[in-house]
Amino acid sequence: MTRTIGALAFALLAGAAAAQGYPSKPVTLVNAFPPGGATDIVARQIAAKLSQRFGQQVVVDNRAGAAGTIGAASVARAEPDGYTMLFAVAANLAVAPAVLRVPYDPVKSFAPVVEIARGPYVLMVHPSVPTKDLAAFVAYARQHPGKLNYGTPGQGSVHHLATEMLKQATGIDIVHVPYKGGAPMYTAITAGEVQILLDGMPAPLPHVRAGKVRALGVTGDRRLGALPDVRSFAEQGVSGVDAQFWWGIVVPAGTPQPIITRLNAEVTQALADPEVKATFEKQNIDPSPGTPEAFGTWVAAERTRWAQVVAKAGIKPE
C-alpha cells in the first residue's frame, strides 16, 4: 500500500510539474470536419484566442471523413500530454459510434475538457410539401407513407439519427437519402430531390429566409431567436425528439488532470471574449461551458441515448 500511495503521489507531482510549463510548444486542435463550416469557424476562433492566451500557436488540423471518426481516432491515439485536442461533436463521440465500428471508445478513449455550445435542430421541408406546421406535416406524411425523402450528410450522422428519432416519436414512414456532406444535402432539398431536412444552426437560416425551404419546428421546448415565429416541438405537442447538436473539447485519456484544469479555464475565458461571443450571437448559438465532469456526464448520456435510437430503428453497425 505504501508503494501504491507513493506511485500515486509521484504521478500527481509529475502532472502538476507538466502543467506548470504547459504549453511549451505548439498545440494541435483537431477538427474532424472540412474547413469552412460552422464547426470550423468556431474551432479556429477559439484556437486563435488560445494562441493569444498561451503565447504558443494553437493550430487547427482538419482531418475529415467517416462522420468525424477519422479525426477522433487520431486524437485517441495521440500522446496524452495536452498537445493534441479534439474539437468534439455529437457525431464522433455519440452518434457515429452507435452505427459505425470505430477504433476508439467514445467515453473511455478521451478525457473531457469543456463543453462549448449546444443547440436544437430545425425541421425544414421543401415548399412543395403543403404543410405549415408540425401537426399538418405528420398528418401528411402518414397519408403518404414511404413517399417522402429526408436528406442527411451521411449514414451515421446526427441528422440521420435525429430524423429516426422523429420517425419513432410520430410513427411516420419517410425514406433516408444520405449525401456526402451538408452542401449536397441542401442542394438536394432546394431542387426538390428530397423533401425533408433536420439541421442545426446556423445553416438553415439563409435557406429559410430565401424561401427555399419552410421551417416547421425546432426540436426541444424553446424557440430560436433567429426564427421567433417557428414554434418548438414541445409547443406543437410532439415530445421525444430532444435532439441537439453540441460541441466540446476532449483530449486523450490519461492527460494529466492539472493540464485539463488549465485547458478548461482557458477555453472558458476564450468563450467569454467579446469577439467569440459576437460570432456565437451571429449564428444564434449559446455558449455552454462548464466543468470537465459535467461535459463527461453529458457525453456518456448522449452515447446511451443514441444507442437506444439505433437499436429501436433496427440500424445495423457498418
Please name the amino acid found at residue 98: A
Q: What is the pLDDT of residue 4?
A: 52
Q: What is the pTM of this model?
A: 0.84
Q: What is the pLDDT of residue 313?
A: 87
Q: What is the pLDDT of residue 7?
A: 45
Separation between Cα atoms, residue 190 and residue 173, nearest integer Å:
21
Ordered by where they begin, the domains of the chain are 2-119+244-313 (3.40.190.150), 120-218 (3.40.190.10)
Separation between Cα atoms, residue 94 and residue 98, nearest integer Å:
7
Let me know if 290 is exposed, middle or buried by CB neighbors in 10 A (0-12, 13-18, 19+): middle
Q: What is the pLDDT of residue 41?
A: 85
Query: From the first residue on, what is the mean pLDDT of each consecutive set of 10 residues in the chain (318 residues)?
Result: 52 58 97 85 93 97 90 98 97 90 93 94 97 97 97 87 94 94 91 96 91 96 89 93 92 98 97 89 84 96 91 82
Q: Which residue has the cell 430560436?
A: 224
Q: What is the pLDDT of residue 8?
A: 47
